[in-house]
C-alpha cells in the first residue's frame, strides 16, 4: 500500500467519522433533547446531568467518557482510541452548533422515530469506521469476561438503568419514548453497519500469511490459528489464517490486512457464542 493510498484511507475514515458525528448531533439536538427524550449509554447520562445542573451537555459527554476512552486504549488499541476521541469531540462541537436550532416537532412519537433513525445512521457510520460514542460498550466487553451475560445483554441492562433514570428525571412517558428511540436506533445501526454481533470470525487466505499473522498478534493482540490448505485449481499449499475478534476491531483488522496484502482473500462472519480456548485479548501496549 502506497503512502498516498494510506493517507486517502485515513482522510476518508475521519471524514465519515466527522459526518457521523454531525448526523448524530442533529438527531439529538433537533428531535430528542427539545422533547426530553434521551438516547442510551453515556449520551443519555450526559443529557440528564445537563438538565439537572444547567451545565452544557458537551461538558458531561467529554468528562464521563474520559475513563472509558482510557479503557478503550488499554483493551482495544490506539487506533480505536483516536477514532473514538475524535468522534466524541466532533459530537461535542456540533451539539453546541445545533443547540440554538428549535426542535422540528413537539410530537413525541415523531420525535422518537425521526430521532432514532437519525441517531442510528450517525452511530452506524462511526462504529463502521472504527470509532464509538458510548463507553458502556467498552464496560460490557470487560464485564463479559467475568460474567455469564453476553455483551449485548450487559449493554441492555446498563441502558435499562439509564432509561429508568430518565423516568425519574423527565417522567415515565419520556422514558417509554426513550426506550422506543433506543430500539429504533439499534435497528438502524444494524442496517448501517450490516450486523453488530460482538464477535466476528475471520478467515484470511494470503501469500503474506506470516506477515499478517505477526501483525495481528502484535498490533491487534489476537491469537491466530494457521490451517493448512491447498488451492483446488493450482494445487499449491496455502496457509489459511483463522481468528476471532470483536466488532470494534474489524476496521483495524481490515486496515492491517490491506496494508500488507491488498489481494488477500478475507471472510468475516458473525459469531454468536465464544467459549473455551484462548479468546482473551493479550496486551499490545
pLDDT at 7 exceeding the cut of 70 = yes
Output the CATH code of domain 199-270: 3.30.70.120
pLDDT level of residue 285 (50, 70, 90 thresholds): very low
Q: Tell me: pLDDT of 151 over 60.
A: no
Which is it for the CA torsion 224, 82, 197, 256, positive or negative?
Answer: negative
pLDDT digits (tens, 9 = 90+) for 205-248: 999 999 999 999 988 888 899 999 888 777 788 889 999 988 77
- Find all residues with CB under 8 Å of 124, minimum gap 6, and list them: 20, 188, 189, 191, 192, 193
pLDDT, one tens digit per residue, over 92-139 is 999 999 988 888 888 999 999 999 999 989 988 888 888 888 777 677
What is the residue-wise DSSP string for 58-72?
HHHHHHHHHHHHHHH
Please name the residue that has the C-alpha cell 462504529: 127
Contacts of 277 (CB under 8 A, 6+ apart): none
| Cα distances (angstroms) measured from residue 96 to each of 28, 55, 58, 124 | 11, 12, 8, 22
Q: Where are the domains of the chain?
A: 3-194, 199-270
Amino acid at each position: 500500500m502506497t503512502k498516498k493510498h494510506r493517507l486517502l484511507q485515513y482522510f476518508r475514515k475521519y471524514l465519515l467519522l466527522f459526518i457521523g458525528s454531525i448526523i448524530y448531533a442533529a438527531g439529538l439536538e433537533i428531535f430528542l433533547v427539545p422533547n426530553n427524550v434521551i438516547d442510551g449509554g453515556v449520551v443519555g447520562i450526559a443529557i440528564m446531568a445537563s438538565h439537572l445542573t444547567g451545565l452544557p451537555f458537551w461538558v458531561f459527554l467529554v468528562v464521563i467518557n474520559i475513563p472509558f476512552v482510557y479503557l478503550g486504549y488499554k483493551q482495544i488499541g490506539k487506533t480505536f482510541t483516536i477514532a473514538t476521541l475524535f468522534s466524541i469531540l466532533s459530537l461535542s462541537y456540533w451539539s453546541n452548533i445545533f443547540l440554538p436550532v428549535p426542535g422540528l416537532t413537539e410530537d413525541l412519537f415523531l420525535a422518537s422515530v425521526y430521532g432514532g433513525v437519525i441517531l442510528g445512521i450517525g452511530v452506524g457510520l462511526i462504529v463502521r469506521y472504527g470509532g464509538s460514542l458510548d463507553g458502556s460498550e467498552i464496560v460490557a466487553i470487560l464485564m463479559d469476561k467475568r460474567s455469564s451475560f453476553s455483551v449485548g445483554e450487559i449493554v441492555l441492562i446498563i441502558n435499562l438503568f439509564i432509561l429508568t433514570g430518565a423516568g425519574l428525571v423527565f417522567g415515565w412517558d419520556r422514558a417509554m419514548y426513550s426506550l422506543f428511540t433506543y430500539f429504533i436506533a439499534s435497528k438502524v445501526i444494524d442496517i448501517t453497519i450490516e450486523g453488530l454481533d460482538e464477535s466476528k470470525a475471520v478467515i484470511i487466505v494470503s501469500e503474506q500469511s506470516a506477515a499478517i499473522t505477526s501483525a495481528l498478534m502484535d498490533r491487534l493482540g489476537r491469537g491466530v490459528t494457521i490451517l493448512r490448505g491447498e488451492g483446488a485449481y493450482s494445487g499449491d499449499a496455502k496457509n489459511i489464517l483463522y481468528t476471532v475478534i470483536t466488532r470494534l476491531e474489524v476496521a483495524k483488522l481490515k486496515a492491517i490486512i490491506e496494508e500488507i496484502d491488498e489481494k488477500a482473500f478475507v471472510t468475516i462472519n458473525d459469531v454468536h457464542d465464544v467459549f473455551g480456548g484462548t479468546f482473551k485479548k493479550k496486551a499490545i501496549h
